[in-house]
Amino acid sequence: MEPRNVMDTFNNIFDLAIIIGGAMILYYAVQMKTVDKIKVGVMIPPDVNVQKMKDRAGFINYSYPRHVAQGIALVLLGVTGIFCDLIGRGDIHVIIYGIALVVLLIGNLMIDKGKRKFY
């Protein structure tokens, strides 16, 4: 058996962080939709006061599908990264991390647009 490269372990830690981040976004999105609890710092920026929302239900309806899509995309990217290590294609991690960064940025820009719309 061939010894594992330290970089593979580092990549797996990043992949697990991406999976956990995506799972957290999914969890808080479902919590936001089911029990009407908006997690400040995860779902919206910490500088936003959720008590002063003009249309709380509208924001939830706007942001829920976007958060779910973002969470699922991140979980799938993390799992894909681990799978790439298993088949010996660790070089694909750079692409996966780039896509994960783009998913986070686009998701956050969409939520910021909704924040301005509903506050």
Kindly report each contact of residues 19-23 with a partner whose C-beta sits within 8 Å and lies 24 or more positions away, as own/partner. Answer: 19/74, 19/75, 19/78, 19/79, 21/74, 22/70, 22/71, 22/72, 22/73, 22/74, 22/75, 22/76, 22/77, 22/78, 23/71, 23/75
**pLDDT at residue 6 in the model:** 46
Query: What average pLDDT is seen over the chain?
Result: 85
CA distance 66 to 68: 5
pLDDT in tens, 21-60: 999 999 999 999 999 888 887 777 777 777 888 888 888 8
Extents of the domains making up the chain:
6-118
Q: What are phi and psi of 45, to 5 degrees?
A: -60, 150
Its pTM stands at: 0.82
